[in-house]
């Protein structure tokens, strides 16, 4: 049973209901949720000594995880959405701090285009790793095509090393933040398309 709509926190009701919709209604709600607690990014920078980009990535990952849990009916509403999202964000930040500490010695290693394309959250890596292990490039190309032209262009530009600011200019997005959010959505869709590999 989907318990997401029975939250005991009335301030979360509209967001949760919006996320359970389809199409533009859901997308609007995703953007509203993203904006509502985006001040966590600054907190992540200061509290965990993360770069702006790492704090943004941790926050975006946390929002995507929270949306996924809500849509799948696993958010039970025992805490407020704000507290729930913060807990996920905190864990993502701690993971990044650990990763950054561990990787200090490998700062100068080069990163392939494939690795850059698939720098996604931990739960995505196993799916992506299986894909890379299979070296099924035709399948990857097909999956990218299925994402649609915008996602495909954005991910390929990003994989080629273009910054979000450059992608925003190239693809006529309003801001680099919009590009980053859209890119994370596209990566999430790519991950989902490989769920059953």
Query: Do residues 86 and 121 both lie within one domain?
Result: no
Domain count, the chain: 2
93 and 15 together in one domain: yes
User: How many Cβ atoms are within 10 Å of 10's Cβ, its own excluded?
Assistant: 8
Look at residue 152 in the predicted model and tell me its pLDDT: 83
Are residues 97 and 174 located together in one domain of the fold? no
Q: Measured between alpha carbons, how far apart are the two ends of the chain, in Å?
A: 27
Q: Which of 105, 132, 150 is the last residue of a domain?
A: 105
Decide if 95 contacts 121 (C-beta within 8 A): no
Model pTM above 0.85 = no
At 48, is the secondary structure helix, strand, or coil?
A: helix
For residues 100 and 33, the model is more confident at 33
The per-residue pLDDT for range 83-129, each reduced to its tens digit, is 999 999 999 999 888 887 776 544 444 444 444 454 544 444 445 45
Which candidate, 183, 181, 137, 132, places its Cα nearest to that of 162?
A: 183
- Is the domain of 91 the same as that of 123? no
Least confident of 23-37, 54-68, 133-147: 133-147
Same domain, 100 and 17: yes
Domain that residue 76 falls in = 4-105
Residue where a domain terminates, one of 84, 105, 126: 105
Higher pLDDT, 180 or 135: 180
**Average of per-residue pLDDT across 65-85:** 90
Indicate whether 33 and 125 sit together in one domain: no
CATH number for position 70: 1.10.1740
Mean pLDDT of 144-167: 82
Q: What is the pLDDT of residue 16?
A: 92
């Amino acid at each position: 049973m989907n318990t997401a709509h029975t939250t005991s926190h009335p301030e979360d009701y509209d967001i949760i209901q919006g996320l359970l919709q389809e199409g533009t209604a859901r997308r609007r709600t995703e953007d509203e949720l993203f904006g509502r607690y985006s001040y966590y990014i600054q907190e992540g920078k200061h509290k965990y000594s993360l770069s702006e980009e790492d704090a943004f990535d941790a926050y975006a990952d946390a929002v995507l995880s929270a949306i996924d849990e809500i849509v799948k009916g696993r958010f039970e509403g025992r805490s407020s959405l704000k507290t729930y999202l913060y807990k996920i964000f905190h864990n993502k930040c701690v993971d990044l701090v650990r990763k950054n500490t561990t990787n200090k010695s490998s700062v100068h290693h080069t990163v392939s285009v494939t690795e850059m394309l698939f720098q996604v959250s931990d739960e995505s890596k196993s799916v992506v790793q299986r894909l890379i292990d299979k070296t099924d490039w035709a399948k990857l190309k097909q999956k990218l095509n299925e994402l649609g032209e915008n996602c495909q262009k954005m991910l390929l530009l990003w994989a080629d090393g273009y910054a979000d600011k450059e992608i925003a200019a190239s693809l006529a997005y309003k801001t680099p933040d919009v590009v980053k959010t859209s890119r994370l959505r596209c990566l999430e869709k790519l991950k989902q398309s490989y769920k059953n590999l």
